[in-house]
Amino acid sequence: MKTRIFAIIALLPFAMVLSTVASGQDEFPRTPAGKPDFSGNYDIASLTPFQRPASYGERLFLTPQEVEAMRDRALSARAEGARPSDPESGAPAAGGNIGSYNDFWFDFGTDGFSIDGKFRTSVLTSPADGRMPARTAAGRAKLARAPRFAWPESEGAWWLETGDTPYDGPENMVLGVRCIYQPGASVAIRPLPYNNLKTIVQTDDYVMIMIEWMHWARVIRLDSEHKSAELSSLDGDSIGWWERDTLVVETINFLDEPFQPNAERRVIERFSPINAGGLLYSFTVEDPDYEAPYSGELVWPKTDQRSYEYACHEGNYAMASTLQGARVREREWREENGAEGNQ
């Protein structure tokens, strides 16, 4: 029999959630089996930050003035990011930082999300300050061993002097750079700078969530048992069950690799129908790499847009250019220094 261990869901007051969820249940489409039909596309892009700015302390909601200020900042940033480039600016200095994507690539949404008309200060609701708990000593050590998402830019093949191995091959890069998997987009799910669309396909036995970021298909088995821990995977093993009109999902058996979730991580997610056909999504994560569990929630609005991963290709075709550039730098370094360095 499936073990249903419920983590502490430290979210907003229950009455507030109940009113939001209840108002949507009567209007929500249902499957022939009578369950809420979550099938469709959702856009979770949001100006609401994942972690709460420290200045808000333990305050859960924004004032109307703060909501307007948040919108104004977003509009100003978008206008600045959309300014045409100066054709007379010239190229960056050799070896310099060429910058990131321009505004065209990003999709932070046009507003924060609200629940019962109240805008949140953050997605995270627990700990009470809306900030990620500190890592444990083991968690910090694991992070220090992990490949870096981005290495500091410097002239020349500096890694031949330090002994680092950032560009030896694809395996030295994190899975995100390799366009294979992004934990934050998949489980637990949260808004990211772009690729925020989710597509749900639902049957009586399975729920599939197509994650736009790196086109990851996450399959949830309903009323099932967990697979053996020997069959661990990057996004863990997800099973779900219905509690009235709420789909509860438990995920365990993560593949424990550097820069990936702890193998003992456990995630509980809840998907509930709300008005306007959207979902109220909440999560609690128990991870031995952190000193305490953390919880959060956000609204998933329905959208007519269709998922399309526009930034990543599996394997990251551009990675060959990164590795080729590293080989050029190494050759130049050796020609200048007449030595093999530490590699």
Cβ neighbours, 10 Å, residue 249:
22
Indicate left, alpha or beta for 74 from its phi (over 0: left) and psi (-120 to 50: alpha): alpha
The 10s digit of each residue's pLDDT in 26-35 is 678 999 999 9
Tell me the C-alpha distance between 169 and 178, whole Å.
11
Which residues contact residue 34 at a Cβ distance below 8 angstroms, ignoring those fewer than 6 apart? none
Query: pLDDT-based confidence at 7, cuts 50/70/90?
Result: very low
| Distances, alpha carbon 256 to alpha carbons 74, 102, 232, in Å | 37, 34, 8
d(CA 45, CA 20): 20
Residue that is written with structure tokens 């007379």 in the block: 88
- Distance between CA 40 and CA 55 in Å, rounded? 37
Domain ranges for the chain, please list them.
Answer: 14-80+102-337
Given a cut of 60, whether residue 9 has pLDDT beyond it is no
- Mean pLDDT for all residues in the chain: 86
**What's residue 68's pLDDT?**
96
Q: What value does the mean pLDDT take over residues 101-114? A: 85
- Among 103, 293, 109, residue whose Cα is nearest residue 196: 109
Q: What is the pLDDT of residues 202-245, one digit of tens each?
A: 999 999 999 999 889 999 999 999 999 999 999 999 999 999 99
What confidence category does residue 95 fall into, taking pLDDT thresholds of 50, 70 and 90? low
Quickly list H helices, the chain. Answer: 14-25, 64-81, 137-145, 159-162, 183-186, 319-337
At a CB cut-off of 8 Å and minimum separation 6, what does 76 contact? none
Does 101 score more than 80 pLDDT?
A: no
Q: Where residue 5 falls among pLDDT bands split at 50, 70, 90? A: very low
SS3 call for 219? strand
Q: What percent of the chain has pLDDT over 70?
A: 88
Tell me what pLDDT residue 99 has.
67
- How wide is the angle at C-alpha 102 spanned by C-alphas 101 and 103, nearest 5°? 120
Q: How does pLDDT run across 293-324, given as a tens digit for each residue? A: 999 999 999 999 998 888 888 778 888 888 99
Please give the torsion angle defined by the CA atoms of residues 3, 4, 6 and 12, in that order, rounded to the nearest 10 degrees.
Answer: 160
What is the mean predicted confidence (pLDDT) over 278-287?
A: 97
Q: How far apart are CA 214 and CA 307, in angstroms?
A: 11
- Burial of residue 331 (CB within 10 Å: 0-12, 13-18, 19+) is exposed
Lowest mean pLDDT among 12-21, 239-248, 253-262, 282-291: 12-21
